[in-house]
A = this chain, B = another copy of it.
């Protein structure tokens, strides 16, 4: 049994991570930390876990934690995370970091968008991005994996093959994404107070969301292409799920079939990417690690619709998938039923 730890275990991503890890036959959760010095039981903070885990939150002590675990999931906020990740790596523990700290290519862009000094600047730019569909080999041997942002995951999966193949104009990509409110984390804030969100939809961070540079950096890294991604996030009255509607301009002669063919080549063997022919609904992917993608012809250009669960494929499912790759387990363990054997599918 591999022993793992979770640093920062009171939020929604940690809860989903704990639920997934409970399904994993080869991994045991040895420790979960929180800043709450009253040492609550896991089930006091996450009543869902009552009868599933018999653990108590502990305060983070890097030294004793590292003696007990082989791998840590770090679920801390940006900047706070890199400070701890640095210390964990020094003690030879492998880390999957949920924060944005190691996702971008360069420190300057990070500090400009996140407004803080990076506590571990030397590593930035050399950390593997935890999208196994594109970085599987590097993840296998990595000591540190930067778990992708939820919006970038929903956009990069459909876009990267097309940009790599030169099927769409890199300069005019529009990502209109709708997220459930759990994307805002588990912290009281009037903006996410039930009566403020319920039965209503709004846009936020229009024109300046931090996930836009993350998308552009990854497009550069994977496709070696400069891109312009116009990204708008919307808060939809639902708990979880992201639907990304993506408007692209095909290059000459490219049609719906060409896009599907490009996806087919890249994703045919991928267990978690499903090409579908009807517009996906977030309901179809919620509580799963699937990313559903579809493409349609429009008045001008093409429209791509992608759906993920922001907490699973957009966070904790991707983290477990990365862990499976790092530890040499079947990549689908704990993420797909049927003992991880995905059935052949052609929707």
Give chain A's interface residues, CB within 8 Å of chain B: 12, 19, 22-23, 25, 41, 43-44, 47-48, 50-54, 171-172, 174, 176, 178, 180-182, 186-190, 192-204, 206-207, 212, 228-232, 234, 236-241, 243, 245, 247, 271, 274, 276, 278-288, 290, 292, 296-301, 303, 305, 307, 336-339, 342-345, 347
Contacts and interface: CB of A to CB of B under 8 A. Distances in A.
Given A204-B279, A231-B299, A232-B245, 12 more contacts: A43-B345, A174-B247, A178-B201, A180-B195, A182-B195, A186-B190, A199-B239, A201-B241, A203-B243, A203-B303, A206-B279, A212-B299
8 contacts: A43-B347, A51-B342, A52-B342, A194-B239, A195-B239, A201-B243, A202-B243, A230-B247
A228 B249 CA distance: 13
A337 B19 contact: yes
A232 B303 contact: yes
B199 A198 contact: yes
B54 A344 contact: yes
B198 A301 contact: no
Top 8 nearest A-B pairs by Cβ distance?
A22-B337, A200-B283, A202-B281, A203-B279, A181-B194, A188-B188, A207-B298, A54-B343
Given A228-B299, A234-B245, A271-B51, A189 B188 contact: yes
